[in-house]
Amino acid sequence: SPLHDLLTALPKCEHHVHLEGTLSPELLFELAAKNSIVLPPISGQASGDVGADAVDPAFASPEALYARYAQFTSLDDFLHYYYIGFRVLLTASDFEALTYAYLRRAATGLPGSRTGNVRHAEVFFDPQGHTPRGILPSTIITGFHAAAARAERDFGITAQLIPCLLRHLPVADGEATFDALAAAGHFASGALAGLGLCSTEIDRPPALYAPVFTRAAALGIDRTAHAGEEGPPGYVSAAVAELGVRRVDHGVRAAEDEDVMRGLSEAGVLLTVCPLSNVALKGVTRIGEVPVRVFLDRGVKFSLNSDDPAYFGGYIQENYCAVEEAFGLSVDEWRIIARNAVEGSWCGEERKAVIL
Ligand code: ADE
Ligand code: ZN
């Protein structure tokens, strides 16, 4: 595409990427070997054991895992594999390696390509997915910030870390997780840049998390929440009204309701849209069905992001290029998308001015 050079050159910000979603099958197998983690059995020998994993031939090799990832049927089908991947992440240096590899790829693209050009990344992680194995948030925070400091020196990219509460777990568990992070001073110190909400969406309306998001607001903590990925348009407006978020992760189902889109546009809410993710998890059948055109026409702000790039076949550059191939946007429209992504970031006005 003639716009390829422009898409590469645009200074980008990423707001919707899960650190654990950057774990490639190759690194998963490498860390499993290093940390002596047994992945789910690939033949029947373990069946019948209490708590044993179901037999799954996808764990035969990285290639078999990639092939399974290409056939996700839904968000929950993906999340099953995503949470198994967590088990290989044990030490601060594991999280440092994961973070550094992602930031390098976001900033510089594939080896030798000098694409990507992500200047600032806000990265989610799921504390509740690690604490049951005895991995503390402070371990993850330490590894993340060690990598972020190195990546800033090496590539000029800045990075922030955002914990997400997990909706498939009891609400009280999420509340206790937030309270412990706040009590430890991680938000006040800036080690954590805000609060997020993710995982299974169906039958988990935003209002369940209104009390904990209200506590976060009272502490001056920035907030965002996944909504309208699989859930109905009303969940997107509920996230804004009841959780007080100025950003909504995904939010694509808002396009089914003109009133919801008008509310988003009037309030200036930013949707962090993830096109390749929506295709991979069968929210849409192709990129052209992601409501990019509708949002541009209705004045709904959005950024383009990778979500779980190791699982969905592309980083931010591939998401930008897929949207260009499907929609053929104008240069001005691309500048608006990239500018809204910078302006919707939580990196502070000084850093934004440098990026723009
Ligand atoms: N956790 C990781 N990726 C997610 C997604 N796309 N939606 C909800 N929770 C997630
Ligand atoms: Zn997500």
Active site residues: 229
Q: Cα separations (Å) of 120 from 46, 48, 93, 304, 318?
A: 45, 48, 22, 13, 17
Does residue 18 have its Cβ closer than 6 Å to ligand 1?
A: yes
Q: Let me know: does 135 contact 143? Beta carbons within 8 Å.
A: no
Token representation of residue 307: 């979500």
List alpha helices for 112-209, DSSP H.
137-155, 171-183
CA–CA dist 192, 202 (Å, integer): 27
pLDDT value for 110: 83
Token representation of residue 290: 């992601």
CA of residue 113 to ligand 2 center, whole Å: 26
Does residue 198 have its Cβ closer than 6 Å to ligand 1?
A: yes
CA–CA dist 306, 21 (Å, integer): 9
* Residue that has been written with the tokens 């690690």 in this structure: 130
Does residue 166 have its Cβ closer than 6 Å to ligand 1?
A: no
Q: How many CB atoms lie within 10 A of CB 156?
A: 11
Does residue 308 have its Cβ closer than 6 Å to ligand 1?
A: yes
Q: Let me know: does 235 contact 210? Beta carbons within 8 Å.
A: no
CA–CA dist 274, 247 (Å, integer): 14
CA of residue 265 to ligand 2 center, whole Å: 22
pLDDT value for 227: 99
User: Which of the ligands is closest to the CA of residue 129?
Assistant: 1
Task: State the complex-level ipTM.
Answer: 0.99
Q: Output the furthest CA–CA distance in the chain (Å, rounded).
A: 60
Taking each helix axis as running N to C, give the angle between helix 210-218 and helix 171-183, from 0 to 180 degrees, rounded to the nearest 10.
10
What angle is formed at CA 253 by the lines to CA 252 and CA 256, rounded to 5 degrees?
125
Evaluated on CA atoms 64, 69, 71, 74, the torsion sign reads: positive
Mean pLDDT, consecutive 10-residue segments, the chain of 356 residues?
A: 84 97 98 96 65 88 98 98 98 98 94 85 98 98 98 98 98 98 98 98 98 98 98 98 98 98 98 98 98 98 98 95 96 95 97 96
Task: Give the three-class secondary structure for 223.
Answer: strand
pLDDT value for 50: 60
Torsions phi, psi for 192 (to 5 deg): -115, 130
Q: Going by CA atoms, what residue is nearest to atom 1 of ligand 1?
A: 199
User: Which residues contribute to the annotated binding site for substrate?
Assistant: 308
Q: How many CB atoms lie within 10 A of CB 124?
A: 24
pTM above 0.80, yes or no: yes
Task: Give the three-class secondary structure for 90.
Answer: coil
pLDDT tens-digit series, residues 72-94: 999 999 999 999 999 999 999 99
Q: Is 308 exposed, middle or buried (0-12, 13-18, 19+ CB in 10 A)?
A: buried
pLDDT value for 49: 57
Q: Going by CA atoms, what residue is nearest to atom 7 of ligand 1?
A: 199
Q: Let me know: does 255 contact 284? Beta carbons within 8 Å.
A: no
Does residue 318 have its Cβ closer than 6 Å to ligand 1?
A: no
CA–CA dist 225, 296 (Å, integer): 21
User: Which of the ligands is closest to the CA of residue 305?
Assistant: 2
pLDDT value for 36: 97
pLDDT value for 219: 98
Q: Which atom of ligand 1 is nearest to the CA of 18?
A: 2
CA–CA dist 277, 258 (Å, integer): 24
Torsions phi, psi for 96 (to 5 deg): -65, -45
Quote the DSSP letter at residue 195. Answer: B
Does residue 122 have its Cβ closer than 6 Å to ligand 1?
A: no
User: Which of the ligands is closest to the CA of residue 165?
Assistant: 1
Q: Name every residue whose Cβ is closer than 8 Å to that of residue 325 and which is 6 or more positions away in sequence.
A: 1, 287
Q: Which atom of ligand 1 is nearest to the CA of 167?
A: 9
Q: Going by CA atoms, what residue is nearest to atom 10 of ligand 1?
A: 199
CA of residue 80 to ligand 1 center, whole Å: 11
pLDDT value for 48: 55
In the chain the domains, ranked by start, together with CATH numbers, are: 8-28+80-355 (3.20.20.140)
Q: Which atom of ligand 1 is nearest to the CA of 82?
A: 2
CA–CA dist 128, 323 (Å, integer): 33
